[in-house]
Structure 1
Amino acid sequence: MDGGLELDEPDAVGGVMFDDASGDEEADQAPAASHDRLLQNINRLDSKRAGRSIVQRSEAAPEISEFHMAAAEDAGVNVHDLLTSLGDQARHAGLRREVNRAKHQRKLPAPLEKPQALKVQRKAGYEKTTKEVTRWENVVKQRRGAEHLSFPLEKPDIGLETSAERTAAFVPQTPLEQEIAALLGGSTAVVPAGQILSEAERQALAAMSLDEALERRKQLAKHRALLTYQEAKHRRQNKIKSRKYRRVLKKERLKQHLKEFEQLKICDPEAALAKLREMEKQRVEERMSQRHKNTGKWARLQAIKRKYDPAVREAGWRRM
């Protein structure tokens, strides 16, 4: 046509006219119908899977595989399905019994992870410790509120064993001990157990008047008390290990000996002279013993000089 407008004419092949739009729609519908029929045939292959829903993959994956497909919630395989596939064979009867027995058994809970297990242990230990410590709250509050405390808070019983308790527990075993026990048992001077006076003392008191007996009894009681105090004092002194105390005690004994010697010199000069000789002899023996052998400062210096000075060495030999 004139005027620059041209109209396309439809294609004609063999006198038949084709429309392009209708041809494209029919070409798209044919593969879709074939695909649907293929899926239906696959689903009918297994009757057990007829009621199951097909789960389609919705997430992207670099590889397409059955291991990357998301499984449906009811698509799992249980033990019953596996046993059904085995059939009713006698050799699988034991396996079925084991499976049925396992169904009725209670399952143990899975063990906790190590951090959770340690946390539970710490919590249990804290509760136990708190329970034990709570018992002492009243005692702690009482002692904190006290004006003063004297230690030890609970004083132990450290009473000394008396001679009566010691002798009561003693049992003679050797022949000598048995002989001594027989002599003491037959003596009238021994105080029987549970009594205050011995048989001899009782007879002596019977021969006295009432006032004299009471006075004598007081003297005997005082004498026994003094003996008891003296024994306790000696026990305490024997336990003391202080060197200073031993030196002081030695000086006191020396003063006592000198005092006794002065009295003896006035009363009996000959006995005092004999005692003086005995003391001198003891002193010489002590000086000659190993305890005082070349241990003084002067003796050590002489030993050093004797090694280098012949005159000192000769003087030492003459002195010996």
Structure 2
Amino acid sequence: MRDLGTGFRYLLRGQRWVARHGKQYGFGLIPGLITLVLYVAALVGLALWGEDFVSWSTPFADDWSSPWQGLFRGFLTAVLFALGLLLSVITFTAVTLLIGQPFYENLSEKVDRDVSPDGTAPESGLPLWRELWISGRDSLRIVLRAALWGVLLFALGFIPVVGQTAVPVIGVFVTGFFLTEELTAVALQRRRVELRDRLAVLRSRKSLIWGFGAPLAAAFLVPFVAVFLMPGAVAGATLMARELMGRRRRRRGTGKAPPRSGTGPSTPARPAFEDEARSGPKRGSGAAGPGTGPQGTPPRRRVPTNPPSPPPRPSKSPAPAR
């Protein structure tokens, strides 16, 4: 439950960040508006010609009697439109990120620089065409997986009671996970984190991911809301990606201090020699002064492991005979 609240706070922090940076927010709206126009055109075309497509794809129902033919094809038309609407919600973020890769890349980098203690941001070092290729390839994989989940949940929706109560809730959480996966890809790709590693990182903190993505998925169900929330969602996902990568580095033994929950990334740990210089010499290090040990006691004399052998004694020569 704590991670759920932390994830939601990251979403709010991202929205507050773009609210303070109006220029970045304006640029972030452009890809969402382009994607919205494309999706609205596709849904309008589906509504206008969906019935003709269903009639063409069901020739076996041409000879059915009057009420059953209309009911059957009308039901399939409604199912087709609902499925298209569900897929548009699931894939909207992926398509928007693909179209707006340069916009959101710049936005994510500005967020990294703003919250970083030294004012720097990670860079992938890859050319733009290479970044676009990786982003498109990963987005296609995510869209295919999301489409499979969408078809499965849509089919489960026809189960009485469960399909109208539990399945919509599960659908929001599943959609939220995929949305977060797509949004964090902007920041994690600059850190050269591959898709398989990204999935491993996200699955290790599912509650945090659901706290960020589930409210966003529910908000995206409202028309036009996704366009206005996308810039802040990218900013919030960047902040959350910093925490996830910080925890990953600490688990690998980099010695970074753990961040406070919900406060974002931690400052990098000081090197050991810097800490020693700040805190002074350690006990028993012999650096308190010459001729002293811990707490001012005389130091112990070190005994060499291989002491030198004593010099040979001179042999006594016999006394001369008289």
- Tell me, yes or no, whether TM beats 0.5: no
- Which fold has the larger relative contact order, with Cα–Cα distance below 8 Å and residues 6 or more apart in sequence? 2
- The TM-score with structure 2 as length reference comes to 0.20
- The TM-score with structure 1 as length reference comes to 0.20
Q: Which has the larger radius of gyration?
A: 1
Quick check: which one's helix share is greater? 2
